[in-house]
Amino acid sequence: MASEGERRRAGFAIFGIGRAGQIHLGNILKMRRAHLMYVVEEDLVHGRSVLEKHLVDREVKLLGLKDADQVFNDPGVAAVVVCTPTNTHKKVVQQALKCGKAVFCEKPIAVTLEETESCYNDAEKFGVPLFCAFNRRFDPNVCQMRERYRRGEIGQAQCFKTCSRDSPAVPLWYLKISGGIFHDCGVHDIDMVCWILGEYPVSVFSQAHAFRQDIADIGDVDQVMIVMKFASGCIATVDMSRDAVYGYDQRLELKGSKGMLEQQNRFPTTVVKYDQSGLTGGRIEESFPQRYRESYQREMSHFLDNVLGVEKEVGITKDETLRVSLIASACEDSYRTGKQIFMDNYKENGGHK
């Protein structure tokens, strides 16, 4: 028999329906236990177009940011999903928390560690969940790698390699508001590595380069290599790129003392053609909405369980979010200074401001 939490429906509002916002919009609309009430989008023409595309009920209100108080003051809204540009997160998150709304926020929660911590403090103060969207933790393959490693199938972890190459090429308008590749992309791989291993690095070192001139012009890079050393002795490398012409390249390899676990790329089809020229197959998944479709669904379902009280523990904690953000900042500072950074000293000195 279904519990009361499983029978109830939670009122939702989404702030921002860009790339990530549209994924969450589609998932919320499919959930029986969720009721979409508001969409807040600064570009109302874009907002109407997206709502029409998704066949959203006319009862759902489309608002500009200046009218967002309607959301915060509506007692029917139990949860707010924040997908606006990073520099607007803190204001929306804190206002929602103050009004007793559970918050699901695309990373990062805020621009600085201090602001992020203040948001979590507000969540604790007002007694509502604050969820930072590290969606890869909810990917079935990533979860399986973690479970099998934790069971001891490959013994002591020695070397961990991640490959995370974007596709298609990311537009410049997004890069300008992304917060940079270390905090936009790197945090996902850093969090995933630390979550699977169950430990945080003692030191980091990064090298990077901008092959696209327009990316160099905004002070960012498009190819990164990060090396993280852990107290256990394990060494992890993170290979990131803003553009892989052959598709969305997402691979993991974890070598241990007794064997190795590997996660390969996913293909839309398993059909392969054989002829006189050899063997040919299709491209790997095109981009992140396709590759991480299940993880986006599962993370929103988990958050909904938090909202309805079915699940008390929030999947990503305050400490985890702050640590990963600090490590990402250390990796960026390592690239900019050309030096290896030791995390204990970095934390003591306040990290990146």
Q: How confident is the model at residue 6 (pLDDT cuts 50, 70, 90)?
A: low
Distance CA 309, CA 321 (A): 22
* Neighbour tally for 3: CB within 10 Å: 10
The answer to whether the pTM exceeds 0.85 is: yes
Does pLDDT of 185 surpass 50?
yes
Would you state the structure tokens that stand for residue 159, as one six-digit string? 């070397």
- Over residues 90-104, the mean pLDDT reads 97
Cα dihedral 76, 80, 81, 87, rounded to 10, equals 150
Peptide bond before residue 108 is cis, with ω within 30 degrees of 0 = yes
DSSP 58: T
- Over residues 303-307, the mean pLDDT reads 97
Residue with tokens 């169950």: 198
Does pLDDT of 3 surpass 70?
no
- Over residues 238-264, the mean pLDDT reads 97
- Over residues 128-157, the mean pLDDT reads 97
Rounded to the nearest 10 degrees, the angle between the axes of helix 19-30 and helix 293-308 is 60
- Over residues 157-161, the mean pLDDT reads 98
| SS3 category, 311 | coil
Alpha helices by DSSP H, listed for 44-112, are 44-53, 69-72, 86-98
- Over residues 169-191, the mean pLDDT reads 93
Each residue of 187-237: pLDDT tens digit? 999 999 999 999 999 999 999 999 999 999 999 999 999 999 999 999 999
Distance CA 88, CA 110 (A): 8
Distance CA 71, CA 41 (A): 12
Would you state the structure tokens that stand for residue 138, as one six-digit string? 């909810």
- Over residues 131-158, the mean pLDDT reads 97
Question: What is the separation, in whole angstroms, between the first and last Cα of the chain?
Answer: 51
**Residues 130, 103: contact at Cβ < 8 Å?**
yes
Strands (E), 133-248: 157-165, 201-209, 223-230, 235-241
Distance CA 271, CA 269 (A): 5
- Over residues 345-353, the mean pLDDT reads 71
Does pLDDT of 150 surpass 60?
yes
- Residue 130 host element (H or E): strand 130-132
Q: What percent of the chain has pLDDT over 70?
A: 97
**Mean pLDDT, rounded, of the chain:** 94
Q: What is the pLDDT of residue 282?
A: 87
The contacts of residue 134 (CB under 8 Å, 6+ apart) are: 107, 187, 188, 191, 192, 195, 316, 321, 324
Q: Which of 33-37, 130-134, 278-282, 309-313 has the lowest mean pLDDT?
A: 278-282
Dihedral class, residue 330 (left if φ above 0, else alpha if ψ from -120 to 50, else beta): alpha
**Residues 288, 248: contact at Cβ < 8 Å?**
yes
Q: What is the pLDDT of residue 4?
A: 52
Q: What is the pLDDT of residue 86?
A: 87
Q: What is the pLDDT of residue 131?
A: 97
Find, among 152, 142, 180, the residue nearest to 264 by Cα.
142
**Residues 22, 50: contact at Cβ < 8 Å?**
yes
Distance CA 287, CA 169 (A): 10
Would you state the structure tokens that stand for residue 53, as one six-digit string? 């595309």
Distance CA 353, CA 351 (A): 6
**Residues 83, 17: contact at Cβ < 8 Å?**
yes
